Amino acid sequence: MIWRMKNHFLSIIFATAFALSFSPAQAQVPPVDELVQLKVLPGWRLANGNHMIGVELTLAEGWKTYWRNPGDAGIPPEFNLSRSKNLAGFATHWPTPNIYEDYGTMAIGYKDRVVFPIELSPRNESRAINLKGTLDLGVCAEVCIPVDLGFGIKLSASDDKVDPQISAALAKKPTRARNKFDCDVRPIKNGIMLETTLRQPKLGENEVLVLEVNGVDLWVASTELQRNGSRVTGKTKIINVAGNGVSFARDQVRLTLLSNNGAVESLGCAKG
């Protein structure tokens, strides 16, 4: 299955498809607040003037949510902070996810509890940030449903106490790969084929390679991984669903190698 297009329309299709695949009795689910709860950890101001917070999700037993790339199917979390005051921008730091096999498909995400560290850039570093946002995500067990959670908090410019929960989540991010990866791009029908090569010792069992690109209306197929010693090759198809040409920046291609024993990632194809 191909997935990368940032479009809520796809989330609706995904949720509808799953709902239709079960009988009405099977599709009965508890209220949303019994499946997932959101809490904002107020965090602290960094030395560079930014503010680090954490968005904590607690999931009901047996339910999971997804990483920024959900795998073969799923709804990736998407934050919208556009209604905030004194906020110029933000960056989400993603803890290393787990890999699950569900009904013959691969899912990448989290169960039980996860903290997403978010680094906020204020317009005026000396003033508070009035944070107001929403989080769109999917939660799944035997059925999958889209969820829209709202949150808000006032973050003082004087907050300086480091939250160990957020620090722990930051420490769970994939480590940076020691080597850059090579990219080979060639045209195919309705899109392009992207092939990457990375020199990386084996991380553990059940390795999964994820390739991500920035672009408009792009779908990226699940990556085929081949390992030969320390040589890791990934191959994926990229298609423009609007029927236009495929265009993306090579220096913004992100490669993440996941396993049951950690993860590494690298940003940008090697020059050459």
CA angle 71, 102, 198 (to 5 degrees): 35
pLDDT, one tens digit per residue, over 149-176 is 999 999 999 999 999 999 999 999 999 9
Q: What is the pLDDT of residue 12?
A: 43
Domain ranges of the chain: 8-171, 175-267
Q: Distance between CA 162 and CA 128 in Å, rounded? A: 17
Q: Cα 203 to chain center, whole Å?
A: 20
What is the CATH architecture of 175-267? Sandwich (2.60)
Confidence label for 272 from pLDDT (cuts 50, 70 and 90)? low
For residue 81 the two structure tokens come to 């902070």
CB 50 within 8 A of CB 122: yes
Q: Which homologous superfamily is 8-171 in?
A: Thiol:disulfide interchange protein DsbD, N-terminal domain (2.60.40.1250)
Q: How far is CA 241 from CA 7, 32, 215, 223, in A?
A: 11, 32, 11, 18
Question: What is the Cα gyration radius of the chain?
Answer: 19
Q: Cα 268 to chain center, whole Å?
A: 18
pLDDT, one tens digit per residue, over 30-46 is 899 999 999 999 999 99
Q: Distance between CA 78 and CA 43 in Å, rounded? A: 20
Confidence label for 93 from pLDDT (cuts 50, 70 and 90)? very high
